[in-house]
A and B are shown apart, each in its own frame.
Chain A
Amino acid sequence: KAGVTQTPRYLIKTRGQQVTLSCSPISGHRSVSWYQQTPGQGLQFLFEYFSETQRNKGNFPGRFSGRQFSNSRSEMNVSTLELGDSALYLCASSFDRGTEAFFGQGTRLTVV
């Protein structure tokens, strides 16, 4: 059974640019969640999609957005990048709420 795949693994962007990260969940999983991990703030929830609908959203500015496609693959977008957006972005795949989530290896974003 294939795991959660996140692409790309590494990204370097300039302040003001935008970036799109991709996540392919485990087959059969309809819930995809996104998390930001930084040394200072730890792991913080960004948003969750289930069957193409955003079901929950964390406390992040509107520059952070996401979507989910009919095949459950998900993308997150960050516009007008700031230095503080440098982080490891993790995608989690799960069957539904309350079930175990399986994480991808993450995308490490560096904003310069």
Chain B
Amino acid sequence: AQKVTQAQTEISVVEKEDVTLDCVYETRDTTYYLFWYKQPPSGELVFLIRRNSFDEQNEISGRYSWNFQKSTSSFNFTITASQVVDSAVYFCALSVGGDYGQNFVFGPGTRLSVLP
């Protein structure tokens, strides 16, 4: 069975601080995909990044960066110089390959509040 853990339920930071959101996953499959989504108050889940299990290269996109470490089964997300618009709930998700189709297992989410 697959599982995603996001230990941080809520985080509050002051604008311009850096913040890291933790994600730990569990799966026995060797082929799997990891995702991060952002859910603003409007409710729509916004896609941020996708990583497959064979690509451990870290990625940076503007103020966002992701650290994928298979050795610790973690896929952490860092926001540099946070802004008020970053306030949202962030979800880490796991999807496995094989015959399971498209089925995301989501973590419980981390609510990020960026204060001005």
In angstroms, Cα B109 to Cα A106, docked, is: 17
Q: Say whether A56 contacts B43, CB under 8 Å.
A: no
A contact face: mostly helix, strand, loop, or mixed = strand
Question: Is A64 positioned at the interface, with any CB of B under 8 Å from its CB?
Answer: no
Q: Say whether B102 contacts A105, CB under 8 Å.
A: no
Size bracket of the B interface:
20 to 34
**A97 / chain B contacts, CB cutoff of 8 Å:** 95, 97, 100-102
Size bracket of the A interface:
20 to 34
Interface CB pairs A-B, < 8 A, 29:
A33-B102, A35-B104, A42-B109, A43-B104, A45-B103, A48-B103, A50-B101, A50-B102, A55-B102, A56-B100, A56-B102, A56-B103, A88-B43, A92-B45, A97-B97, A97-B101, A98-B33, A98-B102, A99-B50, A99-B102, A100-B35, A100-B47, A101-B35, A101-B47, A101-B102, A102-B47, A104-B44, A105-B43, A106-B43
